[in-house]
Amino acid sequence: MEMDRISSLPNDVTEKILSCLPLRDAVRTSVLSSKWRYKSAMLQDLEFDECSWRTSQYREYDDDDYQIHKTFVNMIDHVLLLHLVPIRKFKLACTADEVATRDIDRWMTHLSRNSIKELIIKLWLDHQYNIPFSVFSCQGLVHLELLDCLLKPPSTFKGFKSLKSLRLLHVDMAQDVFENLIRCSPLLERLTLLSCDGVTSLKIDAPNLQYLHVLGEFDVVNLDSASSITEAEIWMGIGNDEIGVPASWIPACSSSNLLMIFDHLPHIRRLKINRRFLEYLSLGALPEKLTNPCQHLKALSVDICFDDPDAIPTALCILRSSPALQELEIEVDPTEKLPRIHSIVEEVNSPCVNDNYNCTFSQLRLVKITEISGVKAELDFIRFLLLSSPVLERMTVTPRRFPEPSYVDGVPKLVKELLQFKRESKHAEIILLDP
């Protein structure tokens, strides 16, 4: 057997092996032999995660907080100081025990001088961490991910010219800061924006954006300048003190939110929308079909409230305009419809609001319906899907865990009914899952 075979493995292989280890173990390899002395100091990606650090330190959880703080900070300072190559990726995930704001500021200053490409900061501190100006000067950034931070860039900030992926969770920033950040990062392809207070208007100017995932209470959604989106998940919420449909949601006379959104999603392939966003889309004059069909929409996931008379027509409009649809997922959401307190627009009752839906889903293979109670409207819809899907392979139906008292014995009845429904597709399989 050849001795020391592993040391002479190519550098990229040993780097791969070391990068799979917790940092502590990777650093300890420096003492194996002289060939290993500097391998860990040449790792390009560094992750400082409180969890993995604690485990590898085998420390008891009730250690002196100050000691823990000192050692974690100490470790990061040491690693950065002794590192031999520019750091490509830096991830920091920690709680208030481990670090003070000035420590993080210091590390950010260091990284900003070293052409960092990926920066991930996830903090659970007593207060939001104010991202220092040094971060805004990192023009080499390709991926930025922040959790629980405050974003207040300097007035000289002109965007991140290389940024392709941005993920912001619980990040506070002003509306204009958000719009500026997106508009001035021209290469942006992926955007995740979840629960970011301060962003009330989802107006996105990102011509190269392909992936969008948002969650928030938005006054308006405007994707006019984001027409390259192929995958989107939009979860719209409403403030606790709102008593009805917000005035800002209602479109101008004779226009339709549905058309305004879908006119600018010509390349959409996967779409997931929640109940409130469907409600937002249903406002305005509802067409039977979209002006521009979604030629590429393959997978659609939508939350439908079967008690809301606008929900089905809106969903049907999308379905009718998606000739390539293969996968459909519906979650029944019984949340009550928002009352219309600002009735400004006269809504035309569309011709599709009747039982004769009349369309064929020529590519639909998989359907998943969850949280059903067994009400007539749900069963009608299922029956309609079965009759309109000639290539359907499988439909999975999952009842609600705690159905309304009147439907408590609905499940066995449901099973019987479903299995008796006529199916257009000879090979269709209906599976009833446990809640």
Partner 1 sequence: MKKISVRTSDGQEFELEENLAMESATIKTSLDAFSRDDIILLPNVNSWEMVKIIEFFTKVQELETKFGVKFMEKKEGRFLEAFQAEFDKDLSDDNLYCLLWTVDYLGIEVLLENLCHLMAERTKNKTVESCRNLFGVQHDYTPEEEAEIREDYSWAFEGPEIEE
Q: Which residues bind partner 1 (CB under 8 A)?
A: 1-7, 9-10, 12-13, 16-18, 20-25, 27-37, 57-59, 71, 74-75, 78, 82
118-124 vs 89-95, strand pairing mode: parallel
Cα-flanking dihedrals φ and ψ of residue 45, to 5°? -110, 125
Q: Rounded to the nearest whole angstrom, what is the least distance from the CB of residue 12 to partner 1 in the complex? A: 8
Q: How far is the CB of 14 from partner 1 (least distance, A)?
A: 9
Rounded least distance, CB 72 to partner 1, Å: 9
Q: Which residues pair with 372 in a beta bridge?
A: 399
The residue type found at 228 is S
Q: Are 95 and 50 in contact (CB under 8 A)?
A: yes
Give min distance, CB of 385 to partner 1, in A: 22
User: Rounded to an integer, what distance in angstroms lies between the CA atom of residue 330 and that of residue 430?
Assistant: 15
* Complex with partner 1: residue 18 or 196, whichever CB lies closer: 18
Instruction: Please state, in angstroms and rounded to a whole number, the distance separating the CA atoms of residues 32 and 25.
Output: 11
Residue 34 or 155: which CB sits closer to partner 1? Answer: 34
- Looking at beta carbons only, is 7 or 114 nearer to partner 1? 7
Minimal CA–CA distance to 336: which of 306, 377, 373?
A: 306
Least separation, in Å, of the C-beta of 71 and partner 1? 6
Whether 297 and 324 have beta carbons less than 8 Å apart is answered as: yes
Minimum distance from CB of 54 to partner 1 (Å)?
Answer: 11
Q: By C-beta, is 3 or 419 nearer to partner 1?
A: 3
Q: For partner 1, which is the closer residue by CB, 26 or 173? A: 26
| Beta-sheet pairing, 231-236 with 270-273 | parallel
Asked whether the CA dihedral 11, 13, 15, 18 is positive or negative, the reply is negative
- Closest CB to partner 1 among 20 and 419? 20
- State the amino acid at position 129 in one-letter form: Y
Residues 6+ apart with CB under 8 A from 158: 184
